[in-house]
Structure 1
Amino acid sequence: MKQMEVTIMGQSYLLGCPEGGETALASAVAQVDREMSAIRDAGKVKARERIAVLAALNLAYQLAEVPRDTTAAASSASPDVDALIKRLDEALGHDGQLL
């Protein structure tokens, strides 16, 4: 297994990568970096850990939508950050509120 150094939101990570998987990993890293940067730039969430969780949820949501309607999911933007935070806060209850 090969190792690749990548940067997400300005922080470097050393990741394991199977031979021939460099392009796919670079694409995944770019997508995660875009999601996290968009959440950070929206200004609602400051903590890196919370940004990472919201980005992971956005990406998981996008993946879950693909089987339902491939063309619509591929062309749609990520869910609204405020709406996602509200849904998470409702699910976590008052003790685990994100904001």
Structure 2
Amino acid sequence: MKQLEVQIMGQSYLLGCPEGGEARLRQVASRVDEAMCKIREAGKVRSRDRIAVLAALNLAFDTPEPVAAPTPDLLTFAALPTDESNKFKQLLQRLDAALTSDDQLL
């Protein structure tokens, strides 16, 4: 397994990468960097951990068709049934509350 260095939000990460997967890993790291930088630039979220969680949620629910970039404090789950969408919104609110109350996060 190769090691590959990528930059995400200005920070270097050394990642394990299978042979032949370098281009794909760089592409994925670029998407993560872009998603995290958009959230940071919106100015409403400062915690790197919280930015990472929101970016992960946004990427996990990304659809193949182009959609407007979700705002960091309001994710839309248009492809989900209403009850599932509400569950995710409640989970996000609980996550926000937990991250906000933990003074250890930067």
TM-score of the pair, normalised by structure 1 = 0.76
Name which of 89, 95, 98 aligns with 1:96: 98
Q: Give percent identity, aligned residues only.
A: 55
In 2, distance between residues paired with 1:10 and 1:93? 25
Q: Which amino acid aligns with 2:67?
A: S
Query: Deviation at 1:2?
Result: 0.5
Q: Which residue of 2 aligns with 1:33?
A: 33
Q: CA deviation at 1:76?
A: 1.6
Question: Size of the alignment, in residue pairs?
Answer: 86
User: Could you say which structure has the higher helix fraction?
Assistant: 1
Q: Does 1:76 align with 2:67?
A: yes
* Matched residue type, 1:80: T
Letter in 2 for 1:44: K
Q: Distance in 2 between matches of 1:60 and 1:78?
A: 13
Task: Provide closer, same or farther for how the CA distance between residues 93 and 49 of structure 1 changes in structure 2, counting only shifts above 3 A.
Answer: closer
Runs of 4+ in 1 over 6 A off after TM superposition: none
CA RMSD of aligned residues (A): 2.1
TM-score, length-normalised on structure 2? 0.72
**SS state at 1:6 partner:** strand
| CA deviation map 1:26-84 (0-9, x unaligned) | 0000000000000000001001000000000000111xx4xxxxxxx332233232213
C-alpha contact 2:58 2:70 (8 A) present in aligned 1: yes
What stretches of structure 1 of length at least 5 have no aligned partner? 66-72
Q: Distance in 2 between matches of 1:27 and 1:14?
A: 15
Output the amino acid matched with 2:15.
Answer: L
Amino acid at match of 1:13: Y
Going from structure 1 to structure 2, the CA distance change for 1:56 and 1:17 (only over 3 Å counts) comes to same
